[in-house]
Structure 1
Amino acid sequence: MNERLERAEEEIAHLRRAVDDLSDVIAAQAREIEVLTRRVRLLMERAAEAEAEASGAIPLADQKPPHW
């Protein structure tokens, strides 16, 4: 019985380590997603500004569809 308890404790320790590692990965990915989201937003704003300057019209992304 003691051996089974030790194996269970070892497995729990390994699982806790895996959960901690996965949590670290998820946190890093969340930070990266935030950075990438900001960059995409800035690029979209720059593209809209460049489009507005080039054509002098309302950017296509800001126009309402014809059925509205």
Structure 2
Amino acid sequence: MSDDRLTLLEERIAHLTAAVDDLSDVVAAQATEIALLTNRVRMLMQREAEREFDQGGTVPLADQKPPHW
């Protein structure tokens, strides 16, 4: 292989490596955000279930199957 071709391939590998690193950072940040949002939804569902139960309900609506089941 010529030196020019080898240099070109090395540059492409460097750019691809940088892109993969950037994407990895994005995926890690999204995983953290998804975990946080999942926890918040769980807490909100629990809070709503407790509120429904305190108002005299027997089974929280979130735990009931829809009527068409």
Higher helix share: 1
Deviation of 1:64 (Å)? 5.8
* AA aligned opposite 1:58: V
C-alpha RMSD of the superposition = 1.6
Instruction: Specify the alignment match of 1:27 in structure 2.
Output: 28
Please give the alpha-carbon distance, in whole angstroms, between the structure 1 residues aligned to 2:59 and 2:16. 55
Higher relative contact order (CA 8 A, sep 6+): 2
Q: Percent of counterpart pairs with the same letter?
A: 64
SS at 2:55 equivalent: helix
* AA aligned opposite 1:20: D
Deviation of 1:55 (Å)? 2.2
Please give the alpha-carbon distance, in whole angstroms, between the structure 2 residues aligned to 1:62 and 1:44. 10
Unpaired segments ≥5 residues, structure 1 = none
Unpaired segments ≥5 residues, structure 2 = none
